[in-house]
């Protein structure tokens, strides 16, 4: 089996560049690049930032999931942009007192 070349990862770089140009006014996410699986992960600091990206990418509200843990949780969804999977997660959600 031939190992992948650097050029074979161009789709991820291209998608990231297009996102940066098209949505330059949106909040800056923490970005993780998974070139081997053609995936980008955008972690947003708040639900407001998450919602701005979700709306800009045209991701349906119904596809948003809640991921809970002991002290709260985060919002999560994914979509495909320019042939690359983009995962969004919105953090900064504390557990409400009962």
- Give the pLDDT band (50/70/90) at residue 95: low
Euclidean distance between CA atoms 57 and 2, whole angstroms: 35
Domain assignment present for residue 72? The answer is yes
| Predicted TM-score (pTM) above 0.95 | no
Domain assignment present for residue 68? The answer is yes
Domain assignment present for residue 65? The answer is yes
Domain assignment present for residue 76? The answer is yes
Domain assignment present for residue 17? The answer is yes
Q: Which domain holds residue 86?
A: 6-44+52-94
**Percentage of the chain modeled with pLDDT above 70:** 96
How many domains does the chain contain in total?
Answer: 1
Residue 69: per-residue pLDDT = 80
Domain assignment present for residue 1? The answer is no
- Mean per-residue pLDDT of the chain: 91
Residue 98: per-residue pLDDT = 44
**pLDDT for 42 beyond 80:** yes
Helix (H, G, I), strand (E, B) or coil at 64: coil
φ/ψ (deg, to 5) at 60 = -60, 140
């Amino acid at each position: 089996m031939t190992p992948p070349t650097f050029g074979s990862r161009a789709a991820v770089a291209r998608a990231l560049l297009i996102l940066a140009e098209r949505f330059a006014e949106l909040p800056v996410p923490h970005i993780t690049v998974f070139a081997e699986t053609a995936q980008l992960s955008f972690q947003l600091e708040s639900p407001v930032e998450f919602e701005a990206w979700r709306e800009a990418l045209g991701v349906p509200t119904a596809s948003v999931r809640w991921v809970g843990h002991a002290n709260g949780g985060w919002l999560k969804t994914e979509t495909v942009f320019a042939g690359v999977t983009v995962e969004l997660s919105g953090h900064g959600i504390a557990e409400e007192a009962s």
